Structure 1
Amino acid sequence: MSINFLDQDRDKTQALKYKVGAIASILVAGAIGVCLPILGKSFEALRPEKNTFFVIKAFAAGVILSTGFIHVLPDAFENLTSPCLNENPWGKFPFTGFVAMMATIGTLMVDASATSYYTKSHFNKSKPGNFPGDEEMVQPHEDHVHVHTHGTHGHSHGAIPSADSELLRHRIISQFFEGMGLGGCIAQAKFKSKAIAIMVLFFSLTTPVGIAIGIGISNVYNENSPTALIVEGIFNAASAGILIYMSLVDLLAADFMNTKVQTNKGLQIAVNISLLLGAGCMSLLAKWA
């Protein structure tokens, strides 16, 4: 059977166009998503204390939860149960679930430790005569977890397959709403401008940089090699665990148990519907992605 090298060159050129387009599109989508809630503080309807903010954040949390369960975790199972891997040990133990579980527990530990550290720092700085209410309590632990989450998630999804427009569209949508989730937590925390700029920049650049690395190693990277499958599978499983923790604990639990939501029946219904819509829409994308 003859091989048409001209067609192969065209395929590579087309794939490169998609990857370069992915870098620009995902960068813009992520930056807009993460900046909207932060800049929204200037608009009355989008301020963190407004009902609209809770509804939008619930939708973003649903997108992130679906990304973990429907998009990332199945990929991890596929990687770590591949027939290209040795039956022993990969076929004899559910490594995907184990890694996802350990990532979730690890995130909880980091979250709790960071909260404890900042709580102690806050009260240690308080002098006699000062009351805890005199200074606003800053809670950066959520944002630390979010940045770590997106760094891991972006790294594990660095390479965009050739000429796959549906996957690219899914990644853009996912990046936008994940950015909104992160931006929502940044908006609620009282960070200085420099810290906000660093977190926004880190989130916006992580996935595009991952794609650029994917372009650089595409000629020597064998995605079906045992090493590649193991590394990608472990990263995907860890990303899924962190995303699931972040959406359920840092976003949903914090907002759904908020006094404002608990005392407003209409808002409760709205955030529940918004959550289901976010999770449903992102799950539907799995049909094409």
Structure 2
Amino acid sequence: MVSKPSHIAVIILSLFLLSATFNLVAGHSTEKKSECTCIREDKDEHAGEVVDKSVLHYKIGSIVVILVASALGVFLPIVGKNIPALHPNKGGFFLVKAFAAGVILCTAFIHILPEAFENLTSPCLGEDSPWASFPITGLAAMGGAILTLMMDSIAMRHFRKAHGLDDHNAADEEAKDAHHHVHGSSSVVPQGLSQAEQVRYRVTSQVLEMGIVVHSVIIGISLGTSESLDTIKPLMAALCFHQFFEGVGLGGCIVQAAFKSASTLCMALFFSLTTPVGIAIGIGISNVYDESSPTALIVQGLLDAVAAGILIYMALVDLLAQDFMNPKMQTNTRLFFGANLTLLLGAGFMAVLAIWA
């Protein structure tokens, strides 16, 4: 069985380390400001008290709204498995999941990766820095994708051995799966999963959550430190859409993994809280935080690039490839083209949001 406590402990530790890093960055912001004139933050130091209160109200409101959107998204597939139309064995489940995968893929390519490039090529880092002379962003994104592949394969090897799925047993499992597929039983039905399939879905859901968490905390901090309503309002709307459908994709993986109720609830709640926690951290350090300081640009740029690589791998390999190669979709022409359409719609809608946020 997948170790839930160790997984959650690693992510919580990562959040604390991330929080400490940004507080360290904030502590050095004053001296860094004098070294760089390309301040990207649109804070208005002379804003009146009314404006300051309005900004704070929007930030606090964004915590509630984004928390609700995230929770609705991740719990929809979990609750929906008891609703016939949204059951994992139904075509609607594939369509919704394809849309969510499109959102995740577009988030990585259109929203996260360009931001990482901007941070790591900023003039604030200096013309003589190694960041300006080497494509570190692409390297970090590639590293994130390769690291995810390694984590995927290592975890699969570990849990296959833990379940006694050696080469001989693996062949038996594959034959059993083929028998189920021929008779119309889909691999996404938790009750009909083989051990190998269940392990695969569990590894997928946990690695996907780790990739989402990294970006969710970073973007939450960005919103929390912003002092411009022109930035906060569109970012709030984009995050609601983004978190809802990322939650749908993650929730779908959790349902397919057939976790126990306690593990399912823990993973869903953890996802729901990550962005609100990031916003709260941002509010706490907003008075001293300088996002244009070299350290902040490097830390945020690297984390964004790695997160983009993780999400790109997960969207293409663990979400889309698994479902699009599923015998149920391969043998159903209407479902196949419907999934392609919803994939494009998900990516398209998320791309349009880049106009505002």
TM-score range, shorter chain: over 0.9
Distance in 2 (alpha carbons) for counterparts of 1:54 and 1:258: 10
Return structure 1 stretches of 4+ with deviation > 6 angstroms: none
**Residue from 137, 157, 166 that aligns with 2:219:** 157
- Classify the secondary structure of the residue corresponding to 1:220: coil
**How many angstroms does 1:123 deviate by?**
1.8
How big is the shift at 1:12?
A: 2.2
Partners in 2 of 1:56 and 1:18 — Cα distance?
A: 30
Q: Which moved more, 1:88-97 or 1:156-165?
A: 156-165
Alignment equivalent of 1:41, drawn from 81, 84, 101: 81
Give the structure 2 partner of residue 114 of structure 1.
Answer: 155
SS in 1 for 2:288: coil
Aligned counterparts of 2:340 and 2:193: Cα–Cα separation in 1: 33
Query: Structure 1: which 5+ runs fail to align?
Result: none
2:261 aligned residue (178, 183, 193) = 193
| 1:71 aligned onto 2:139 | no
Paired with 1:29 and 1:240, the residues of 2 have a C-alpha distance of: 22
Q: CA deviation at 1:9?
A: 2.6
1:203 equivalenced with 2:300 (yes/no): no
Q: CA RMSD in A?
A: 1.9
- Residues 124-143 of structure 1 mapped to structure 2, 5 A cutoff: 136-137=194-195, 138-139=198-199, 140-143=202-205
| Residues 234/8 of structure 1: CA separation in 2 closer, same or farther (3 Å cut) | farther
1:82 equivalent to 2:150? Answer no
- Specify the alignment match of 2:96 in structure 1: 56
Deviations 1:199-219 (A, max 9, x none): 011101111101100100111
- For residues 125-167 of structure 1, the C-alpha deviation after alignment (integer angstroms, 9 at most, x for no partner) is 9xx9xx7569842221011111211211112212212312111
Determine if contact 1:30/1:204 at 8 Å carries over to the other structure. Answer: yes
Query: Could you tell me which of 332, 338, 347 is aligned with 1:270?
Result: 338
Relative to structure 1, the CA distance from residue 152 to residue 135 in structure 2 (aligned partners, 3 Å threshold; closer, same or farther) is: closer
Structure 2 residue 87 is matched with structure 1 residue 25: no
- The 3-state SS of whatever aligns with 1:48 is coil
Q: Which amino acid aligns with 2:162?
A: S
Q: CA deviation at 1:10?
A: 2.8
The CA distance in 2 between the partners of 1:8 and 1:225, in whole Å, is: 26
Q: Which moved more, 1:153-162 or 1:216-225?
A: 153-162
Q: Distance in 2 between matches of 1:192 and 1:120?
A: 21
| Counterparts in 2 of 1:5 and 1:108: CA distance versus 1, 3 Å | closer
> Partner of 1:244 in structure 2?
312
- Work out whether residues 150 and 206 of structure 1, in 8 Å CA contact, stay in contact via their aligned partners in 2: no
Q: Distance in 2 between matches of 1:156 and 1:261?
A: 36
How many residues align structurally?
Answer: 282
Instruction: Please give the alpha-carbon distance, in whole angstroms, between the structure 1 residues aligned to 2:110 and 2:290.
Output: 25
1:148 and 2:210 aligned: yes
Deviation at 1:265, TM superposition (A): 1.1
Structure 1 range deviating more: 82-91 or 177-186: 82-91
Query: How far apart are the structure 2 equivalents of 1:108 and 1:5?
Result: 46
Residues in 1 aligned to 2:54 and 2:117: alpha-carbon distance in whole angstroms: 29
Q: TM-score, normalised by structure 2?
A: 0.76
